[in-house]
Amino acid sequence: MREFKIAEPKTADELAALLAETTETTALIAGGTDLIDELKSGVATAGLVVDLRGVAGLAGITKEKDGGLRIGAMTRVVDLAGDVTVAKDYPGLKEAALSLATPQLRNAGTVGGNLCQRPRCWYYRDPEVACRKKGGFNCFAYQGRNKYHCLFGGSGCFIVAPSDLAPALVSLGARVTIGSAKGDKTIPLEGFYALPEIDVTRENVLEKGQFLKSVAVPAPKPGQKGAYVKLKERGTWDFALASAAVTAVVKGGTLEEIAIVMGGVAPVPWRLKKAEDVLRGKPATEPLIRQAADAALADATPLRENGYKTDLLYAALKQAVMAVAA
């Protein structure tokens, strides 16, 4: 592990000023469950590691005046999973938080770190491999070992978005507040993530000097239901091979409004708008869900070893839609 300096800002303004002024290569550390591995292996390097744990006001869950919820970036995953309002109003988000990693990792890991974690692609994680994400010329997964890679959205890089919280939050219409020395700005979480064709070396739109401050989830609508289904290779902790987050307004068994977001199948949380169009305004039945999955899969381009994920997409979608329609 290479040497680095540590900074411990105490306020968001101090953090923003530090990030604006420093000329060092900088890494933000929250719970450290992903970043420390990257620094140890040499996949990530930093001259300055900025510790977010002492920054006032970045942790905690608060109810907004409009009935929505604000979740600070430094809120621990365990606190999100145990929050009573999350359990009552956003059951899909609770399921996503509980499905994530292990109790130890949920204790240390934060919501901001979860949303900003780097991909698990084994070529990217191998310090000996100079893949495109690390400034090289090739994506070795494309013609190599690609059973864990993407069905949608890959162009020159075929990673999948690993976060469990991201699909659940995108399906809820969450917005993120980004801090910097220029002030705060708020954007939809869906627009926070960026495909490799935008910039293959990063997975989101954060620029130098910016950091994630909080996530805001809109108040639940009357009749709103949610579910998160995560399909994994192993029964114990694991990342999703495919996961489906579904948020829908259900009236008399009919899906009046619906948002479907998949994890593990694309470099970003992947919205299945064509499937939503098939399901919207109708009672959920197995043949209709099959039709919805087929509409979504018309855009899929499986690689040599990951065609099985098309079946997982259908299975996750069916379980999640049936759960909200029940």
The site for ligand FAD (CB under 6 A) is made up of 27-35, 52, 73, 77, 100-101, 105, 108-110, 112-114, 116-118, 162-164, 206, 211-212, 237, 239
Minimum CB distance to ligand FAD smaller for 30 or for 141: 30
String of DSSP letters for 155-177: SS-------SHHHHHHHTT-EEE
Minimum CB distance to ligand FAD smaller for 193 or for 279: 193
**Contact criterion met (CB below 8 Å) for 12 and 57:** yes
Minimum CB distance to ligand FAD smaller for 110 or for 146: 110
SS3 state at 79: helix
Minimum CB distance to ligand FAD smaller for 35 or for 216: 35
Beta bridge partners of 242: 231
Beta bridge partners of 23: none
Give the whole-angstrom CA distance, residue 139 versus residue 163: 21
Q: What would the two tokens of residue 104 be?
A: 């130890």
Query: How far from chain centre, in Å, is Cα 304?
Result: 25
Minimum CB distance to ligand FAD smaller for 49 or for 325: 49
Rounded to a whole number of angstroms, the minimum distance from the CB of residue 279 to ligand FAD is 26
Rounded to a whole number of angstroms, the minimum distance from the CB of residue 235 to ligand FAD is 13
**Contact criterion met (CB below 8 Å) for 76 and 109:** yes
- Residue 258 DSSP label: E
Give the whole-angstrom CA distance, residue 275 versus residue 271: 9
The residue number with the shortest CB distance to ligand FAD is 113
Rounded to a whole number of angstroms, the minimum distance from the CB of residue 178 to ligand FAD is 8
Rounded to a whole number of angstroms, the minimum distance from the CB of residue 187 to ligand FAD is 14
Which residue, among 91, 93, 89, has the nearest Cα to 75 in the 3D structure?
93
Rounded to a whole number of angstroms, the minimum distance from the CB of residue 191 to ligand FAD is 16
Residues 6+ apart with CB under 8 A from 252: none
Minimum CB distance to ligand FAD smaller for 233 or for 286: 233
Rounded to a whole number of angstroms, the minimum distance from the CB of residue 231 to ligand FAD is 12
Rounded to a whole number of angstroms, the minimum distance from the CB of residue 108 to ligand FAD is 6
Minimum CB distance to ligand FAD smaller for 206 or for 315: 206
Q: What would the two tokens of residue 158 be?
A: 């075929």
Give the whole-angstrom CA distance, residue 271 versus residue 30: 28
